[in-house]
Amino acid sequence: MKIHVIGLGVNEHANLDAMVQAVLASLSAQDIVLGAPRQHETLVEHKHQAQSCDLPKLSELDNHFAQWHQEGVRQVVVLASGDPLFYGIGAWLKRTFAAENLCFYPNVSSVQVACHRLGLSLQDVQVVSLHGRPLATLRRYLQSNKTLVLLTDQHSQPHHIAQECVQAGLGESELSVCEALGYEQEKVRSFLVKTLLDETFDFDPLNVVVVKTSSQKSFYPSSVGIPDGSFVTDKGEGKGMITKREVRLAILSYMTIEQGDTVWDIGAGCGGVSVEFAYWHPRSQIVAIEHHPERLACLAANQDRFGVMQNLSIVSGRAPEVFADVLANQKYRPNKVFIGGSDGELAQLMAQVWALLPLGGGLMVSAVTEDTKYQVMQFAQTRESAQDAEEQSLQVAVAKGERLAGQRVFRPNLPVTLHHFIKTNHKENAQ
């Protein structure tokens, strides 16, 4: 079966080149043209003999293709709004079908049209899709001096976006709404965020929103080391079970998270480490494992606060008991692990995690008490005997300045020892 993925452009009537018109002309009555009702309407000037079907949910689409294959359908056309491979259905099709069965036909996208209407260069903007994603996903991008082009849905309309800007401290941002692009009723209007919220405006639900944040100070960080006070914790903001900022910076540096990594944070507490991993590495998958109910609630609150729902997965339970459940999903198999809390199970945890890691995988362990330091040293000696790891270790001792009776003093925190192991060799009997 041949699958043609056709971008329709941004017009009331599809503007198709000769190659695409030839594909439509080649369709038989047994073939399928798949798309939303609005997309079928754009083909009014391009007749074809195929059956026009509404696009189902992606979770159901695979079954439909299997059925069409059994029925002997030779060609399926999938309609896309603009560029099928830019936040479009093309990515799902590429994951699902062999490349030799797919042909892509791009067209002008709504993002391109919006930028041209506003005189923006594509290389100077950041495109964020909120379509089918939680609105809070926007938060990780709301920093100073940015131009964001947002693909929206019914949950991310202009007033929702304006409210997010105000919450981020960016109430003086300019928000441009590009409505019904390519249609007769097209409008492009610009507002200050506060003005948009103070008055009532009606917008076409088919819109692209452009946000210019300017030099205002945002609540959301633009560099690593989120302040402790920005986190929700079990003992008041910035206190309680959270890895402190200076230690987090060392962990972030030594673990060197790369695009596509799957990282476990065991004993995640309120989520300081997990959130930073997920915030700065949106194309990596972070799994936070925690069992304490109050800390889990704080972890979920921080996940929402910093907009990291897409790539931070929270697992409720004790390690290592929950490992089997996590590993049931192959995409959650880790190549890097941080152990920040062990509930007295550190030796067992390190051994099991080490067995899970692939060659080149990394394990970082945090130790504060003398008991945990001793267990990590035993593990380090085992690795040295097995000659299957490269090790780096450091101790972070931080003293912060305070005022006491009008004088400046430095109050020390407990030192934290960090050990980082990189797996260099497989040994069957390694513990």
Domain ranges of the chain: 2-108, 111-212, 228-423
Candidates 209, 72, 83; CA nearest to 150 is 209
Cα separation of 362 and 335, whole Å?
7
Residue whose structure tokens are 């990189």: 422
Q: How would you classify residue 326: left for phi > 0, otherwise alpha for psi between -120 and 50, otherwise beta?
A: alpha
Q: For the chain (length 431 residues), average pLDDT per consecutive 10?
A: 95 92 95 94 91 92 93 95 91 94 95 97 96 95 96 96 96 96 94 92 95 94 94 81 93 95 96 97 96 96 96 95 92 96 88 96 95 94 94 92 88 92 70 46
> In this structure, are strands 187-192 and 262-266 parallel, antiparallel, or unpaired?
unpaired
User: Which fold would CATH assign to domain 228-423?
Assistant: Rossmann fold (3.40.50)
Q: Are 162 and 193 in contact (CB under 8 A)?
A: yes
- The per-residue pLDDT for 3 is 97
Q: Are 389 and 383 in contact (CB under 8 A)?
A: yes
Four-point Cα dihedral 299, 302, 307, 308, nearest 10: -30
User: Which fold would CATH assign to domain 111-212?
Assistant: 3.30.950
- The per-residue pLDDT for 427 is 53
Say whether pTM exceeds 0.95: no
Candidates 334, 339, 360, 362; CA nearest to 349 is 339
The CATH label, of 3.40.1010.10, 3.40.605.10, 1.20.1260.10, 1.20.1250.20, for the domain at 2-108 is 3.40.1010.10
Q: Are 219 and 48 in contact (CB under 8 A)?
A: no
- The per-residue pLDDT for 238 is 65
In Å, how far are 181, 265, 286 from 260, measured between CA atoms?
Answer: 35, 16, 10
- The per-residue pLDDT for 152 is 96
- The per-residue pLDDT for 431 is 46
- The per-residue pLDDT for 236 is 73
